[in-house]
Amino acid sequence: MANSDVRSREMLEGSEPGLKRLENYVAGLVQTMNESKEETSTMGVRMDKIASEMKQETSKFVKQEMSEMKQETSGAAMVQWNHACFGVRGVSKRTGSNPVHSPSVDWASSLWATVS
């Protein structure tokens, strides 16, 4: 039994440089993993921020486009509606004004805004 204790001590003493290298390797590996974890977390935050900015920009763009389309559509629809209902064909010979801006059109415009 004494021989086995001596052999064990000799093996440990002989392997100290190997153990030290292994400890250094594991410590380096742990440090690298921690750095990777921090980078991954940072990238997640960046990606969330970019996604939020893109969502805001897209929402703003869509709202602007919808508003422009609504204005274009409502203007064209009102002109067609006036022509169909009142037989409007441009500037009135009797009054010399454009009937598109008459009170009936204003009422119809407000009605159109309520419907759309």
pLDDT digit string, tens, across residues 18-44: 888 999 999 999 999 999 999 999 999
- Distance separating alpha carbons of residues 90 and 75, to the nearest angstrom: 15
pLDDT bin (cut points 50, 70, 90) of residue 67 is: confident
How high is the pLDDT of residue 72?
Answer: 76
How high is the pLDDT of residue 60?
Answer: 93
pTM: 0.41
- Distance separating alpha carbons of residues 5 and 11, to the nearest angstrom: 10
Contacts of 104 (CB under 8 A, 6+ apart): 82, 86
**Orientation angle between helical segments 103-115 and 16-86, nearest 10 degrees:** 140
- Distance separating alpha carbons of residues 42 and 24, to the nearest angstrom: 27
